[in-house]
Each structure stands twice: as structure tokens, then as C-alpha cells.
């Protein structure tokens, strides 16, 4: 099964996966990939453009391989703001879309406390686009975090 976990930055997407995935499952999380590809001392929420560029390429390669294995193992993909094209692909693959959203106020507080301030722009854009995304392809919503 493919689970596509979406939501604004600092919503708890990784925590949702930690609560649901097993050690055998495949988890594709851009933050974790970036951290794995960054040198010692890089910040936990690394937004360095060059490192992100490499991490994105690694993420796409991991997605291609993992999607082929989704009938053998559960695959969890974090995709903050999937495009209509990506949502259509995930739908064709039989994905379950899970939106994790503890609410705008909580998200903005978490970003202020733990993340790069630029993530507030991403969160604002996510909330602006949320109605479109939920009508299109986000029937599964989670608010536990």
C-alpha cells in the first residue's frame, strides 16, 4: 500500500508516519534524505539549495523504486503540496492520501519555535491551496498531532 502523507510544514507528518509505519516499511521523507546527504553540523531542517537539489534527485529515484514494491511492503511518502498531476499519479497507484493538519495556529507556532522562518510562506501557501486539494483528492484527514 502507498500512503501519501501531506500537510503544511511542522504539522506532524513525520510523527504520523512514526506512529503508523513498521521497521520493514519504506519511508520517503525529504527532510531525512537531506539530513542523510548533509555534512556534519548541518542544521536538522536544512534548506541549503545545493543539498536540497541532490536530496530531491535521491527522493525521485527512491519513489520510482518504492512504487514498484508497494504490493510487497507499505510505502510512506511525505509530499507537502502535491500538484494535480502528482495527485492523479498517486490515485492511479491506489494511494491512500493522508492530510495531517493540527491547524494553522499550531503550525505557525511550531515553525516559529523549530523551523526556518521561510517555512511560514510554505505553510501559508498550503492553507491557501488546501480547499482545492481536499476537494480534488484528499479524502483521508488526520488531526492527531
pLDDT, one tens digit per residue, over 100-133 is: 999 999 999 999 998 888 889 999 999 998 755 5
What's the CATH code of the domain at 102? 3.40.50.300
**CA quadruple 52, 56, 59, 64: dihedral, nearest 10:** -170
Range of the domain at 90: 2-142
Element (H, E) at 50: helix 49-68
The per-residue pLDDT for 21 is 97
The per-residue pLDDT for 133 is 53
The per-residue pLDDT for 142 is 47
The per-residue pLDDT for 113 is 92
> How many domains in the chain?
1
For residue 2, the 8-state DSSP code is E
The whole model's pTM is what?
0.85
With a cut of 70, list the residues of the chain below it in pLDDT: 131-145
Amino acid at each position: 500500500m502507498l500512503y501519501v502523507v501531506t500537510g503544511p510544514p511542522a504539522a506532524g507528518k513525520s510523527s504520523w508516519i512514526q506512529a503508523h509505519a513498521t521497521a520493514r516499511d519504506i519511508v520517503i521523507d525529504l527532510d531525512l534524505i537531506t539530513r542523510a546527504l548533509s555534512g556534519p553540523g548541518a542544521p536538522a531542517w536544512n534548506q541549503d539549495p545545493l543539498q536540497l537539489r541532490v536530496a530531491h534527485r535521491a527522493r525521485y529515484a527512491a519513489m520510482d523504486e518504492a512504487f514498484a514494491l508497494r504490493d510487497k511492503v507499505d510505502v510512506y511518502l511525505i509530499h507537502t503540496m502535491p500538484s494535480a498531476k502528482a495527485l492523479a499519479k498517486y490515485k492511479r497507484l491506489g494511494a491512500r492520501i493522508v492530510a495531517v493538519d493540527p491547524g494553522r495556529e499550531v503550525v505557525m507556532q511550531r515553525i516559529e519555535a523549530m523551523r526556518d522562518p521561510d517555512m511560514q510562506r510554505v505553510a501559508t501557501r498550503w492553507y491557501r491551496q488546501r480547499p482545492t486539494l481536499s476537494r480534488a483528492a484528499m479524502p483521508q484527514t488526520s488531526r492527531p498531532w
